């Protein structure tokens, strides 16, 4: 295995507390009129045709935003189950014009575990999801073989795809002892290979803040560097306070490199994508608890990648 890695009006930047030396600008995610959402929990993002396709872990609808955080469209498909899938991330395989959206694969009971254990493959064309393209793939047998797919056993929060070697990367937020990314051969996954057992592509210690672990919250394949950009975030229990985020570069043949440390405290980074020379980080801020709406940070990608040269 080697490598991975419709425009609206500009929204006004939001003010936000952030760590030192974090470049870029932060926008609030708003509807088409510029108004705040009553509730929006961004949990994954993918750059597509100059816009951002963002998933919300509370609904099965996909949301199209411009690169300054203004909503331009909502996409739905009858092929998605009626029950909430709890989408946690989305990845785009541009060469095949194919998206993948993954549920959390977590649950406190067998019923909820099954409901959230979904992986959909689909295409978008002419501003809609192509109904005939929607296909459900199954990660559960592979994770069941690892002893992870069970109530309170695991939680997926990261997804990325390598267009050259055709691997799908899955990042686990739980178990929390170490940050782990699994690699699935895409064609074997599509075939439903009964013997499929994913390899741990990389694992590392992501650290702690005040005894709260940093856990994987988003993945992005970086093609020029043949590795993954990874956000890890913190969520203090039981208060649900967000204590900061980290951005890493990881690969199987090198030590993890910390690119940004404890940035945007009070918010939870959950979506990570790049395009047009920018890196986009979407935040699910659990507005009921934090009173902070979901936001979008836009950073210059080259400035972030230059940090690797300095390490």
Superfamily of domain 25-310: Apyrase (2.120.10.100)
Q: Could you tell me the pTM of the whole model? A: 0.92
Identify the pLDDT of residue 7.
Answer: 30
Q: Are 166 and 204 in contact (CB under 8 A)?
A: no
Query: So where are the chain's domains?
Result: 25-310
| Euclidean distance between CA atoms 175 and 257, whole angstroms | 22
pLDDT averaged per 10 residues, the chain (length 311): 32 47 90 88 96 94 97 94 89 96 95 94 95 96 94 96 94 96 96 93 95 97 95 89 95 91 94 98 81 92 89 69
Identify the pLDDT of residue 239.
Answer: 80
Name the DSSP class of 306.
H
Identify the pLDDT of residue 139.
Answer: 96
> CA of 275: how far to CAs of 15, 36, 66, 204, 226, in Å?
23, 25, 12, 27, 16
Q: 160 - beta bridge partners?
A: 169
């Amino acid at each position: 295995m080697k490598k991975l890695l419709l425009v609206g009006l500009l929204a006004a930047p939001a003010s936000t507390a952030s760590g030192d030396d974090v470049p870029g600008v932060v926008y609030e995610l708003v509807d088409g009129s510029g108004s705040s959402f009553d509730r929006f929990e961004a949990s994954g993002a993918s750059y597509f045709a100059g816009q951002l396709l963002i998933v919300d872990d509370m609904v099965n609808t996909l949301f199209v935003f411009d690169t300054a955080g203004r909503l331009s469209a909502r996409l739905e498909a009858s092929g998605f189950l009626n029950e909430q899938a709890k989408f946690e991330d989305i990845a785009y395989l541009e060469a095949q014009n194919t998206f993948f959206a993954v549920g959390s694969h977590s649950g406190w009971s067998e019923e909820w575990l099954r409901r959230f254990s979904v992986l959909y493959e689909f295409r978008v064309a002419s501003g809609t999801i192509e109904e005939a393209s929607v296909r459900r793939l199954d990660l559960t047998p592979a994770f069941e073989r690892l002893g992870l797919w069970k109530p309170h056993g695991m939680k997926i929060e990261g997804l990325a795809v390598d267009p050259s070697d055709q691997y799908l990367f899955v990042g686990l937020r739980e178990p929390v002892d170490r940050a782990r990314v699994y690699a699935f051969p895409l064609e074997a996954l599509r075939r439903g290979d009964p013997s499929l057992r994913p390899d741990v592509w990389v694992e590392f210690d992501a650290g702690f803040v005040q005894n709260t672990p940093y856990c994987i919250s988003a993945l992005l394949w970086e093609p020029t560097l043949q590795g993954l950009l990874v956000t890890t975030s913190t969520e203090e229990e039981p208060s649900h306070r967000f204590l900061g985020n980290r951005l890493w570069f990881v690969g199987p043949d090198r030590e993890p490199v910390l690119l940004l440390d404890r940035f945007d405290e009070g918010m939870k980074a959950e979506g990570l994508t790049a395009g047009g020379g920018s890196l986009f980080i979407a935040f699910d801020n659990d507005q009921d608890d934090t009173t902070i709406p979901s936001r979008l940070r836009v950073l210059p990608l080259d400035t972030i990648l230059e940090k690797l040269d300095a390490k």
